[in-house]
Structure 1
């Protein structure tokens, strides 16, 4: 989809006329040429139109990604989405098939390592993964001066908790929160990715504590509390609602209020979110 196509689609979605859409920024004639792909619009004028109608810029440009993004990026993103769907549905066959496609691409080490970990998890073969994989993952994260601001690195870390040592995960989470405190992130995509990190950590931590010795169970409580705080303090927008609920769910679990945690999960199931809560621990 071109910029012009995306503008036309948004105009229809908002129920606006051409005159209302341009909002005095450009003439109706110029706008007609833009949406018919006969002329280009400067970035300044495009942003004025988008901002004047409160249009989500991230959503808008996602509409145009297939037209303007490099081919390899488009392929990798589609494979990432395909693998994510297979993993979330615990579909080992589809996940394995997607891993083979990713291996053929051989361009993105982050995506490949994520897929390898995911398939190993679904097939219960985590122990059989190459012992060097954990170090490779750490090395990948260390290649970025601030991996907390790198979307690919964050996705890799989110999945790699399954193969890294407990101590390494805790150290990386500590670094994660230190760097996050210094940043002023407003991108909803990054905020959601941080929420996923916190959610995955809490799930991982719960499983880890079940197997830990009694003297280990009081360690790293700060990472737990910070993860829960991050989730529960998220904005009340629909995009983040499930993460806020998940934060309260884990808050109840880690404070021993199991009945309240079960109640949260029960009500979500009653609302039709059975698949979403299927892998929640309690």
Structure 2
């Protein structure tokens, strides 16, 4: 389902006219074109419309369509969530009980646990990086694995990595899962660049994210692009308002 189509559905559920839905943000005629799919709304304006009407970003983006993940994807996302939340207990539980079709995942889990415990080192990272790319191919598993160790790369190596990822984004053979992982890697690259005060390729990555398809599963990423665009241009108040909206997704 496209954004405009779902906006119309949500607006009707609230018994709002197009003019009421768009008031103070975009004009009614433009909003009408958004609903019928002939115009695209920016992430900035979509956030403002939803925020103005106290609409849940989570409900808007996720509570429709087939969102049931495959088991392997579920386990990968569970590992990612535990790592981001610094949940060592869950990572250890997965490490002990998970059935490893790809041995690289077990190696990654050990590394993540060591990292969160403060005992991971460059030697481990280099061994892990070698194992990840030993087969010299970019697939879903490799993209997912690399996402978790990006902060360990030297910036010059990380820029080479992001170049390869960008090229992969335009590959005809890329699956939907791969495209999602590519975008996650791109967002993490922006975060690392911000922390290290490095702007190399930042504008290129932000543009890549801003022009993602106007589908519901890509809009969180498009909003993240707007957020990083604001902070790299020192518009912190505007960035803060985006953070407040994104918190609705938790």
The reply to whether TM is greater than 0.5 is: yes
Measured at CA, do residues 99 and 232 of structure 1 come closer, stay the same or move farther in structure 2, by a change above 3 Å? same
What's the CA shift for 1:207? 2.1
Q: Is the 8 A contact 1:252 1:260 kept in 2?
A: yes
Matched, 1:118 2:112: yes
The correspondence of residues 183-262 of structure 1 with structure 2, limited to 5 A, is 183-184=171-172, 187-209=175-197, 217=198, 221-222=200-201, 224-262=202-240
Aligned counterpart for 1:142 among listed residues 133, 137, 143:
133
Q: Which TM-score applies when normalising by structure 2? A: 0.63
Secondary structure, aligned partner of 2:195: helix
Map 1:16-165 onto structure 2 (within 5 A): 79-102=75-98, 105=99, 107-123=101-117, 125=118, 128-147=119-138, 150-165=139-154
Cα separation, 2, equivalents of 1:208 and 1:199: 14
Specify whether residues 186 and 81 from structure 1 end up closer, same or farther in structure 2 by C-alpha distance, changes over 3 A only: closer
Q: CA deviation at 1:267?
A: 2.8
Larger radius of gyration: 1
**Aligned 8 A contact 2:143 2:181 in 1:** yes
For structure 1, the 5+ residue unaligned runs are 1-58, 66-73, 210-216, 276-282
Kept in 1: contact 2:165–2:182 (CA 8 A): no
Which secondary structure does the structure 2 equivalent of 1:162 belong to? helix
Task: Work out the CA distance in 2 between the residues paired with 1:139 and 1:198.
Answer: 21
Q: 1:164 & 1:140 partners in 2: Cα distance?
A: 15
Equivalent in the alignment of 2:161: 172
Shift of 1:245: 0.2
Structure 2 CA distance, aligned partners of 1:185 and 1:245?
26
TM-score of the aligned structures, taking structure 1 as reference length: 0.57
- In structure 2, list runs of 5 or more residues that go unmatched: 1-65
Query: In the superposition, relative to structure 1, how do residues 187 and 167 fare at CA in structure 2: closer, same or farther (>3 Å)?
Result: same
**Higher RCO by CA contacts (8 Å cutoff, separation 6 or greater):** 2
Query: CA shift at 1:131, angstroms?
Result: 3.1
What is the count of residue pairs matched by the alignment?
186
Question: SS at 2:231's partner residue?
Answer: helix
